[in-house]
Structures are given as C-alpha cells and as structure tokens.
Amino acid sequence: MLRFILKRLGLAILVAFTVSFISFSLLFLAGDPAIAIAGENANAEDIAAIRELYGFDRPMLVQYAEWLWNALRFDFGQSYYFRLPVADLIAERLSVTMTLGVCGILFALLTAVPLGVIAAIRPNSLIDRIALFLSVAGQAMPSFWFGLILIVVFAIQLGWLPASGASSWRHFIMPTVVLGYYAMPAIMRLTRAGMLEVLSADYIRTARAKGASEGRVMFKHALRNAIIPVVSLAAVQMGFMLGGSIVVESIFALHGAGFLAWESIGRNDLPTVQALILVFALFYIIFTFLADVLNAWLDPRMRSS
Amino acid sequence: MSNDPILSVRDLTLDIPTAGGTLHAVRGIDFDLHRGETLCIVGESGSGKSLTSLALMGLLAPKIQRSAARIDFDGTDLLKASRRQLRHLRGARMSMIFQEPMTSLNPAYTIGDQLAETLLLHRKVSRAQARARAVELLEKVGITAAESRLSQFPHQLSGGLRQRVMIAMALMCEPELIIADEPTTALDVTIQAQILRLLVDLQREMNMAMILITHDLGVVARVADKVAVMYAGELVETGSAKAIFRQPAHPYTRGLINCIPVPGRTERGARLGTIPGIVPSLVGEVNGCPFRGRCDQAVDACANAIPLHQLDDDTHELRCVHPDGHRHEEVTA
C-alpha cells in the first residue's frame, strides 16, 4: 500500500511540473506581455522599459525557473490589474469557491448515491423512473438556465433565498444545488450500473448464504465494490467544480476563484490567470491522487498492480 | 441418528416466467435426508439441480416462483419461515458451497474478515474468537500457514485454495446440513479429488447431512448414501447408492451408468455409451415422461402421466411407465 501511494505521488508531482510549465508558457503564447501591460498608447521606449522591469528580456527557461521557484513559495507576483499580490487575491477568492465546491460535490453524492442504489435494488420501479428523469433533466439543462429558474422561483417569487452575494450560508444554497445537480446524473447512473452489476455477482449470493441481512448485503458487500468507479468520477467532478464553477459564480455573483479567472482573462491579467490555471490543475491532480488512494483502499486488487 | 429426517421435501416445483411462457424448470421433487447422510443429485446440465439447491436455501432469484407441499428443515417449515428465521438458519444450520470458487468470495475483504463474518453473524463471540475459529477451520480444510492467510485477499489465492476457504466458511458454525453444488467442477482434475475427499471426511467427522450436486457418477459411486437422478426437472429415479448402481431401473439412469468406463469391464478402445437426442423444452405445458424422446423403451403411454413405482427395496423409487424400466410385451399390448 505504501509503495502504491509513493508511486502515485511521484506521478502526481511529475504531472504538476508539466502543468506548471504549460501554464507559464501561456504568458508567451498570448503575445508579447510587455505590449499588453504597456497599453495601447505606449511607445517603443515604454514597452522596452516594461520589458526590462518585468524581466521579459531574459531567456524563457530562466524566467520559468524564477517563476516556479517563487510559485513554490506561494509567490505568484503582482496582479497587473489589482496591483496586489496574486497569492493574496487567490487565497481570498478560493475560500468562496472551495465552500461552493465542497457543498456542491456533497450535494451531488448525497443525492446521487442513494438514488442510484435504490434504483439498482428496484430496477424499473417508480423510484428508478424518477431517478432516470432527474438525471436526464440534469444532463440536458444548462447550469445558467437552471440557476436563473431557481432565482426566479426562490428569490423573486417566493423571496426565500437571496439571489446574489456570499455573505451568509443562505447565499450558498442555490449555487450548491445548481452546481451539485450538474454533477449528479453521471454519479447516479454510474452507481446504479455498478450496483446492478455487483448485485448479480456470485459473492453477493455467498453473503446471503451466510445469513447476512439485506442491509448488510447491500452496503457492506455490494456498495463497497460498486462505489469504486464512482470515487474516480467524483474526484474529477470535484476538480471541475473548483475550477469550472465560473458560470455558477457569475449567475449568483459569488466572487470566487472561477469568477476571478473570468475577470482576469478579460483584463489580460496574466500573472493571475497563470496562477489560477496552476491552482485549478493542482486541484485536479490532488483529487485524482486522493481518489487513487481511496480506491486502492477499497479495492485490494488495485494495490498490487 | 434419529428417525426424523433433517430435511424433508415434497412436491417442490419451480417455475420461471419467460417471454415465451412459463418455464417449468423443476417439477414435483420429493426426497428425505437424514442426519449424517449424503444425498447425491445427479443429472446433466440444465436439469434443475442447482435451482433445486438454491430453492432449499431460499436463494432463488425473485422472479422464480417456488411452490411445494412441504420443505421441512428439522421441524422448521421453510415455506412459512420469515426472512429473519431463514437468515438465522442460513450459514448457521444450513450452509452452501458453490460451483464457482473464483468469484464466490468478495474481492474487497480479506479471507479472515469473510470467515469471521459467518460466525459473528450467528454467534455472540468476539472478533478474536471468530478469528481463532477461522484459523482452526482453515487448518481443518488443509490450508498451511493458516494464520497468515487471514490477511490475504481472494485474488491472492488459487482456485483450489479459494474453494477450501469456501468450505471452511460453510463450516464455521458447524451446520447440520451442507449443500455442495458441483464444488469441484471449476477445479483442476488433480485438485478435484482432494477437495471431494476433504468434504466427505469433514461431513463424516461433523456428522452433517450433505446434498452433493454433481454430474460425475464416479464421485457419486464413492460418496453417496442415496442417489436422486434428475432429468429435465424431474426426479426419475431415487434410491440407495447400492440399488442405483446395482439395479439401475430407469432407462436414463442406465444410460448414464453406461457412459462411464469401468476398469476391467469396459474393453479397451470400445465406444462408451452415449444418450442420443436433446433435452425437451420445458416452456409451456409439460406432459408425460420428459425422457421419452430419447428413450429406446418409449411407448405411447409415456405421453400420459407417469406412475411412481416402489421397487423391491422400499427406498428405491422409479418414475417410468415400465414397472422395472424395461419394456415388456404385456405392458405395451
């Protein structure tokens, strides 16, 4: 098990370095950064001065090494727009995004897994149909549209929940539902398919032959095996929620990291964009790593491979 | 040994609804099994042997309809027993060993956890006691380094070892009845004999009643007290092992016995017996003898209800229009 974890950790670090290089190169792919900073009315002298000030005249690898070294110490430079350290900016925004992401994935898991299990235990029953309907609707409905519907109903018509902002837990209810509902269909269908497959396995019959109760058969013997692919999926969804909740953050005016990324792209605020890409990528890497470890714990066969 | 059978089955019938109509998989099975006795149910694939064993354990798929006049396990009516009552019997007083050792153990748990679970489900014992019992049983089924096996996972064991673990698991609570559904079919030939020997030795040692399901008559000859010959969902002949092998009465039983070579009697190079034809479809109404299409003794009366004959030994029963399984002119006239 320890060997497995170390191997995966090594792999994760390798991927992290690759990603850091790619996100750094974006600075140069987007054109000459000095011109972008100098603005439209700058003359050649201003641009040259800026180029020297920011060190853009040095070889790219040297700049990368410096950037990476600073990044490792959580120093991502200054935001061009806010004139503030990028690290502080992200740290402030990330708390909103993390809260939203964690709530979103929990909402998705807590609705999708039980629904998937029940749907698998009673295939073609009413509850299976309802679960199927919910998952088709969730997949077909764009987040922004579902978010707007919720705002119209619960904020404007009924006045139960605030439509925008992030100042209390009540502000997070609708965004959580919208974000979680987006992830729910895939998790539910994977749980259902996994449970259906596992329930017909010989070892489930063995468990019943031992005299195990139905609840024990379902949760201890079946779900433990059926949940393995769901863990990997949920990790990817979680990474997506932390990086890609831009739409939801915009609709509900939650000023999180996703919203910051969207703003910064528009403002050509490259240090912020670079740092955000790196942070989002790291989230994916961390969650994939955690999912691998969790899966190895759930499925002993994975440890030896 | 008391005179009351530990398991008594009357008129067990299993129907499976299919798109093309009801499949009458098992029809009117009767038998009694006493403590310490071994009953072998023989028959070809698809004759309903496995379904019968699952029906006794109450492990049938929900869509299969079970009916019977009686299924009585040591005074408990299994037809009327609640799910809870059945749960307390399964694993504790009646256990089952399956055909597929490779897939019958849960891949997510250690051997030790799975063995201990059986005992923990039924007895008030500590985990340590359950593990100690697991070691004891693993040693009993001939697994070396039993202690260290407890922390191994099923995928780390060979098929033969897994089947030994399954046997140990079935015996954790010292059941009175053990049902073994072709326990050696999936194993190497060299391992088959070992596992069977083990099973029979343990059965004798623990004085369990055993139902052994097999299509291997060689196995039957070695271990059976009683034999039930099953064909297309019916018991065509039942009797003591001695009677079945010495005086096989039903044409199907005779056919089966002719299929096995006997050292010293079967000539080298001689063709072994075969039974031509195929098993009839059991979907829809099933009338008369299911074997009549393949039987060289068949007469018109075989399409009607088939009488049950008691042969000389009163436990030897035959379901055939011919009172001794052979066609006589006076019967056919």
Judge contact between B31 and B238, C-beta under 8 A. Answer: yes
Q: Note whether residue A283 is domain-resident.
A: no
Tens-digit pLDDT profile for residues B94-125 = 999 998 988 999 999 999 999 999 999 999 99
Q: Kindly list the distances between the CA atom of residue A71 and the CA atoms of A17, A51, A87, A227, B129, in Å, as whole numbers in the listed order.
A: 11, 21, 9, 36, 55
- Residue from B106, B152, B172 to probe the interface with A (highest A Cβ count within 10 Å): B106
**Total structural domains within chain A:** 1
| Interfacial A residues in 191-250 facing B (CB < 8 Å) | 201-203, 205-214, 221, 224-225
Q: At A126, which CATH number?
A: 1.10.3720.10
Residue B29 lies in a domain: no
Which residue do the tokens 């100098």 mark? Answer: A38
* Residue A84 forms part of a structural domain: no
CA-to-CA distance for B186 and B197, rounded, in angstroms? 16
CA distances from B121 to B105, B128, B327 (A): 17, 14, 55
Is B69 domain-assigned?
no
CB contact under 8 A, B106 and A207: yes
Same domain, B324 and B192: yes
Considering B172, B191, B213, which residue would you say is the last residue of a domain?
A: B172
B3 within domain boundaries: no
| Domain tally, chain B | 2
Residue in B180, B29, B106 with CA at minimum distance from that of residue A206: B106
Residue B94 and residue B165: Cα distance in Å, rounded? 17
pLDDT at B1: 46
d(CA A48, CA A43): 9
pLDDT at B333: 42
B278 and B206 share one domain: yes
Full domain range(s) for residue B228: 35-63+176-332
**Which residue among B57, B108, B110 places its CB closest to the CB of A209?**
B57
Does a structural domain hold residue A109? yes
- Judged by DSSP in three states, B234 sits in strand
> Is the same domain home to B109 and B207?
no
The answer to the question of residue B8 being in a domain is no
Q: Assess if residue B157 is contained within a domain.
A: yes
Q: Rg of the Cα trace of chain B?
A: 21
Task: Please tell me whether residues B117 and B266 are part of one structural domain.
Answer: no
Query: Could you say which residues of chain B have pLDDT below 50?
Result: 1, 331-333
Direct distance between the N- and C-terminal alpha carbons of chain A, in angstroms, rounded to an integer: 11
Does residue A126 form part of some domain? yes
In a domain, B88, yes or no: no
Residue B208 domain flag:
yes
Q: Residue B60 to residues A105, B10, B57: CA-CA distances in angstroms?
A: 38, 18, 8
To the nearest whole Å, the CA of A123 is away from the closest chain B CA by: 13
When CB atoms are compared, the residue of B89, B107, B121 closest to A212 is B121
DSSP 8-class letter at B293: G
Chain B residue with CA closest to A216: the answer is B121
CA B308 to chain centre: 22
Among B172, B207, B240, identify where a domain stops.
B172
Give the contacts of B136 (CB within 8 A, at least 6 positions apart): none
Residue A82 is assigned to a structural domain of this protein: no
- B277 & B203 share domain: yes
Same domain, B237 and B167: no
Residue A205's domain comprises 95-258
Task: Tell whether A169 is covered by a domain.
Answer: yes
- B309 and B287 share one domain: yes
pLDDT tens for A136-190 read 998 888 888 998 999 889 988 888 888 787 778 888 889 899 999 989 999 999 9
Per-position DSSP letters for A228-261, written without gaps between them: HHHHHHHHHHHHHHHHHTHHHHHHTT---HHHHH
The alpha-carbon gap from B254 to the nearest alpha carbon of chain A, in Å, equals: 35
Interface confidence (ipTM) of the complex: 0.87
User: Can you give the pTM of this predicted structure?
Assistant: 0.82
Non-local (6+) Cβ contacts of A304 within 8 A are B155
Using alpha carbons, select from B302, B326, B329 the residue that is nearest to residue B251: B326
pLDDT at B295: 87
What distances in angstroms separate CA B333 from CA A100, B287, B303, one per listed residue? 89, 22, 16
CATH of the domain at B50: 3.40.50.300
Question: Which pLDDT score is estimated for B332?
Answer: 47
Q: Which residues of A touch B104 (CB under 8 A)?
A: 202-203, 205-206
Report if residue A266 sits inside a domain: no
pLDDT greater than 50 at residue A247: yes
**Tokens 């509850």, located at residue:** A127
Which residue carries 């001794």 as its tokens? Answer: B324
CB A4 within 8 A of CB A303: yes
On whether both B199 and B291 belong to a single domain, the answer is yes
pLDDT tens-digit profile of B249-272?
A: 899 998 888 877 777 777 777 777
Q: Domain check: are B264 and B117 in the same one?
A: no
pLDDT tens figures, A22-58: 888 877 776 677 777 777 777 888 888 887 877 777 8
Domain boundary among B113, B148, B172: B172
B246, B270: one domain: yes
